[in-house]
Amino acid sequence: MGSRWTGIFWSFVFLAVPVLGVATFAVAPAFDIWLPKDVSSDGATIDSLFMFILILTGVVFVITEGLLFWFLWKYDAAKATGPATYVHGNHTLEVVWAVIPAGVLLFLAIYQMNTWANVKMRRPAMSPTLEVVGRQFEWRLRYPGRDGTLGTPDDLFLVNDLHVPVDEDILIQLKSMDVLHSFFLPNLRVKQDAVPGMKIPVWFKATQTGQFDIVCAELCGWGHYKMAGQITIESRKDFNAWLDSMYAKQEATQPEPAAVALAE
Amino acid sequence: MQLANCLTEIGRQASRLAFLLLCTLVLASVIGCGATPPAYFRPNMVESTKQRLNPEQERQVATVLLAMFGTPDHPVALAETGLNEAKLHLAAGPVRSDIVGRKNGLYREHCAHCHGITGDGLGPTAAFLNPYPRDYRPGVFKFKSTERADKPTQADLVRILHNGIAGTSMPSFALLSETKIEALAEYVKYLTIRGETELTLIRAFFELDDDAKGTLPETREFLVEETLTPIAAKWQAAPAAAIPVPPIPANIDLVASIAKGRELFYGDKANCVKCHGVTGLGDGQANDYDDWNKVIVEADKEIRSGTEQASQASTAGMSPEQLADHRLQLVWLEKFHQVLDGDALTPRTIPPRNLRQGIYRGGRRPLDLYYRIYAGINGAPMPAAKGTVPPEDIWHIVNYVRSLPYEFDGELGADRPMVAPNRF
Amino acid sequence: MAVGCVPQRVATPLADAEVAQKIRATLVSAASASGSTREAAASTGTGWGTLKGRFLFVGVSGAVRPLAVDKDTEVCSKGGMKLVDRSLLVDPATKGLANVVVFARKASRVKNASPSTTPVVFDQKQCEFLTPVLAARVGQPIDVHNSDPIGHNTNIAGSSFNQLVPSGQGTVYKPESETGMPTAVTCNIHPWMKAYAVFRKDGYVAVSGVDGTFTLADLPAGEIIELQVWHERSNGPNGALGLEKPDLKWTPKGRFQIQLQPDEVKDIGTLDVPASVIGT
């Protein structure tokens, strides 16, 4: 049977779960293990949805775990020596705790619909800013060039080095050359699987300049872990200048003088 | 009394937990973490078996290479190689941080899994790739700005690292810093020079006089001045061997140039369609090999013919000497067969490039296409147009080739189906 | 399963670390002990001699194999002509073995200091190289010619010379370094086309003719000259032809030695090449 300290010990072990659980979320931002910096126009809504769900589920979590601790403590076999009572169940209670979560779920589904539609359904009416093709293990990019049409001889071909202008709607045509990949821009809260055979539109609007990561979020082979790229968000002027300089490099008919660095 | 009970109980339960944790840890370490042996350079077994080196001779080559080039963890660059040892140290060895927090072991982190620790193109992932990763040891590079026979310049190697090679598994390392890319390029040169020296040393055994003991001289004169210096000199001479590129005519009429280029492409001066096909799909032929695969194909042929002959030879009428030779031959054939199994990849033919896809391995600039047409591709069947096709005409062909992915099917006629034999 | 799926690689002897240390010490020091493989032959004489001989094939040479000609057949198979494998050419009448290469490994002196400026012609017609084995001196111009109505390219392995040769034209090539043993010459447009090329600094190289005879003229007299013998189909290392000729000190590496008197024409007679040294 064990002494009464057994019960106390194990109750506190289980209490550690909600305590540590909440503690890690509380200190995470201080250790920079939290949501990446958001630089997109839809990011605030998405993050607030995330926080809402986190808090809601967090509260329920703490309550449930707390109850678990309470029952472990109160009904410790060493102390509660009385006979067990058979309870037929409480119908009202069961209805309550089925209906309330269902209602919360329904509320969440409706509450987030608009954000989902913004991100996945309301495509901006524009021609693609560029085409991104996922390939083991890199992101191949194709900008349409001056004529604005993809698939013409003035296209600009690049790898892994994505540039977009700030404060403008960006539409990306996402394809895959071989297997499933997932185009993930953490700082823009954009994630879309690249499916071979499909041309999937992805759009966003960046609100701040800077350099951020592109990562692959769908296991695509042995190099999946290093299938990373870089997205540079810059002013329209800088973006145009960059496009021009990259296009000039692509059309080079003379070798570069030795002093010119290879990086743009 | 209460306190004593409390503490004992906590102690008992806590120790149960601790014991469980300890067991898990021990199990994990026993299964998971064996000590890895230090990395070592693999000898060029195909060449040394082909040249019939005995174990003593193989050992001598390995020892000399150890003296001249060091190990994968501790590279050595003699002054004659012209290599920068500091850059080599950044790239060599296991992945680790050095005293100032810089990441070392770049080659092993980024390159070794395909190109192998020895730079022999036999890394663990190599067998799954098409095309195979480059084997640096023969010292032949395909995509460069120098004449066909010459080595690539530093800028050529950096460009490949920076852009990757489109249509192959060679990725772009544009996100690495300049310092790291240069360190990797230096290490590639180091592995190449080492590989070329190894090949020269192995072949030198055949060149020895028959009365020599069958060992190479281990003198500075032979090893450095006769063997290493000519190899390193070719690398140092690379920038001087740059292909001259006359400027493209200033007001060139693109449509006329493309038409002229098409004429040349189909003509018998440049003979492009003979290999690239009348559709430009690369279906002109399918049975040639690049230099790296050719070595294996020829070794295979040698083994096969040797085995056939050995099995046909009747041992009945043989003298003791002949019998001994016959047995040695059988042993050698068996060894060569095993070497091709473990130290070589299944040979593949090299299809001519499908020019309709717009994927250009050596780079898509008009300049890159000019280099490929002018000097051909070293190591591959693509011949040089230099001396046969004048420079302005090469520019016309370049313009035509660049227009190929955008040419409509209708222009070629309905009787020529656009069927690509393979993707790349 | 843990051991299974990776092909086992052949074990090789490990390097000797101590010896390597010593070697490295000599390499980085400025002092150089003498000793190389390229010791010049000591010159001990004057005058020039000539070497002659004849290779005869002994045994059954097997059926002639046709080549797979699958391209440009209107030129390459013109008039129903079939191209055949020329790797073992035995004259049916005399049994002479053609295209055996004999060259001097090192000679202390050369009769003509610089190579001749008249180009050697290396032509191709009806999708076949007309010269099965091209022998030339380093620095001597070679007119790589194309007498076909279609274009070819000529690829000399190891030299990195691989150039287009348009129909009716030629391109001049000057080898800059000597080949060790003869190297393959192919056409990538018509992959069945094959020939061999050997370039030597001193130019002392001969190729046996249809009847198996060869002549090496103007060899330096008064010194021991070691000659290397090669045949395309030989079983020996790198194609070396090892024959049973103890009087010439013929080695398994396909080498024999002679010494000539001034103005001597030495005929080493018939050299029997048994079918056993020729591969399939």
- Do the Cβ atoms of B222 and C26 come within 8 Å? no
Task: Output B248 or A141, whichever has higher pLDDT.
Answer: A141
pLDDT at position B16 is: 85
Question: For C60-65, which contacts have Cβ atoms below 8 Å and span 24 or more sequence positions?
Answer: C60/C275, C61/C88, C61/C90, C61/C275, C62/C88, C62/C280
Flag whether C44 is in a domain. Answer: no
Res A85 pLDDT > 90? no
Range of the domain at C239: 56-245
Give the ipTM of the model, two decimals please: 0.90
SS3 B28: helix
How crowded is residue B323: how many other Cβ atoms within 10 Å of its Cβ? 11
pLDDT per position as a tens digit, B52-99: 999 999 999 999 999 999 999 999 999 999 999 999 999 999 999 888
Chain B: closest CA distance from residue A7 (Å): 10
Return the biggest CA–CA distance within chain B: 106
pLDDT at position C7 is: 63
Q: Does A12 touch chain B (CB under 8 A)?
A: no
Which chain B residues are closer than 8 Å to C152 by Cβ? 271
- What would the 3-class secondary structure string for chain C be? CCCCCCCCCCCCCCCCHHHHHHHHHHHHCCCCCCCCCCCCCCCCCCCEEEEEEEEEEECCCCCCCECCCCCCHHHHCHHHCCCECCCCCECCCCCEECCCEEEECCCCCCCCCCCCCCCEEECEECCEECCCEEEEECCCCEEEECCCCCCEEEEECCCCEEEEECCCCEEEECCCCCCCCCEEEECCCCCCCEEEEEEECCCCEEECCCCCEEEEEEEECCCEEEEEEECCCECCHHHECCCCCHHHCCCCCCEEEEECCCCCEEEEEEEEEEHHHECC
pLDDT per position as a tens digit, B325-365: 889 999 999 999 999 999 999 999 999 999 998 899 999 99
User: How many Å apart are CA A93 and CA A98, to the nearest integer?
Assistant: 9
Find tokens 């005293």 and name the residue.
B99
User: How many Å apart are CA B133 and CA B124, to the nearest integer?
Assistant: 11
Q: Does C11 touch chain B (CB under 8 A)?
A: no
Check: CB of residue B364 under 8 Å from CB of residue B166: yes
Question: For B100-106, which contacts have Cβ atoms below 8 Å and span 24 or more sequence positions?
Answer: B106/B176, B106/B180, B106/B183, B106/B184, B106/B187
Q: Name which of B245-259, B342-356, B375-389, C124-138 the model is least confident about.
A: B245-259
Res C2 pLDDT > 90? no
Position B314 confidence tier, pLDDT thresholds 50, 70, 90: confident
Flag whether C259 is in a domain. Answer: no
State yes or no: chains B and A have 3 or more CB pairs below 8 A.
Answer: yes
Sign, Cα dihedral of C129, C134, C138, C139 = negative
- Do the Cβ atoms of B159 and A262 come within 8 Å? yes
Position B367 confidence tier, pLDDT thresholds 50, 70, 90: very high
Paired with A169 in beta bridges are A205
State chain C's mean pLDDT as an integer: 88
SS3 B355: coil
Exposure on the CB side of residue C48, measured as CA atoms within 13 A: 11
Res C258 pLDDT > 60? yes
User: How many Å apart are CA A195 and CA A177, to the nearest integer?
Assistant: 9
pLDDT per position as a tens digit, C200-241: 999 999 999 999 999 999 999 988 999 999 999 998 889 999
- Do the Cβ atoms of A254 and B178 come within 8 Å? no
With CA atoms as reference, report the closest residue to B245 among A254, A257, A252: A254
Task: Output C33 or A17, whichever has higher pLDDT.
Answer: A17
Of B6, B164, B367, the CB nearest to A253: B367
CA angle B194, B203, C160 (to 5 degrees): 75
Q: Produce one character per residue of B232-255: b if its CB has 16 or more CB atoms within 10 Å, e if not.
A: bebbeebbebbbebeebeeeeeee
User: Residue A185: enclosing H or E segment and its boundaries?
Assistant: strand A181-185
Domain ranges for chain A, please list them.
4-80+88-120, 130-250
SS3 A15: helix
Tokens in use for A1? 């049977």
Flag whether C194 is in a domain. Answer: yes
pLDDT per position as a tens digit, B25-36: 888 766 666 667
pLDDT at position C36 is: 52
pLDDT at position B418 is: 44
Of B9, B365, B366, the CB nearest to A3: B9
Res C123 pLDDT > 50? yes
- Do the Cβ atoms of C160 and B378 come within 8 Å? yes
Domain ranges for chain B, please list them.
45-240, 243-288+353-412, 291-342
Res B414 pLDDT > 50? no
pLDDT per position as a tens digit, B126-165: 999 999 999 999 999 999 999 998 999 999 999 999 999 9
Task: Output B377 or B212, whichever has higher pLDDT.
Answer: B377
Check: CB of residue C165 under 8 Å from CB of residue C222: no
Chain B: closest CA distance from residue C113 (Å): 24
Position B415 confidence tier, pLDDT thresholds 50, 70, 90: very low
pLDDT at position B420 is: 39
- Record the pTM: 0.89
CATH number at residue C190: 2.60.40.420
CA angle C161, C166, C169 (to 5 degrees): 95
Q: Helices C17-28 & B55-69, crossing angle to 10 degrees? A: 50
Flag whether C189 is in a domain. Answer: yes
Check: CB of residue B302 under 8 Å from CB of residue C202: no
Q: Return the residue of B nearest to C172 by Cα.
A: B387
Check: CB of residue B287 under 8 Å from CB of residue B281: no
Check: CB of residue C6 under 8 Å from CB of residue B193: no
Contacts of B330 (CB under 8 A, 6+ apart): B310
pLDDT at position A261 is: 44
Find tokens 């040698």 and name the residue.
B302
Q: Does A87 touch chain B (CB under 8 A)?
A: no
Residue C231, amino acid: H
Flag whether C94 is in a domain. Answer: yes
- Residue A230 burial (C-beta neighbours within 10 Å; 0-12, 13-18, 19+): middle
- Do the Cβ atoms of C160 and B67 come within 8 Å? no
Distances in Å between the Cα of B399 and the Cα atoms of B147, B256, B424, C230 are: 22, 10, 21, 47
Total number of domains in chain C: 1
pLDDT at position B193 is: 97
What's CA B319's distance to the chain center, in Å?
46
How many residues does the structure list for chain A? 264
As a dihedral over the C-alpha atoms of residue B90, residue B91, residue B92, residue B96, rounded to 10 degrees, the angle is: 70
**A130-250 domain in CATH 2.60.40.420?**
yes
- Do the Cβ atoms of B245 and A253 come within 8 Å? yes
Which chain B residues are closer than 8 Å to C191 by Cβ? 285, 287-288
Q: Does A160 touch chain B (CB under 8 A)?
A: yes
B243-288+353-412 topology per CATH? Cytochrome Bc1 Complex; Chain D, domain 2 (1.10.760)
What is residue A210's DSSP assignment?
E
Of A159, A254, A261, the CB nearest to B367: A254
Which chains border C (3 or more CB–CB pairs < 8 Å)? Answer: B
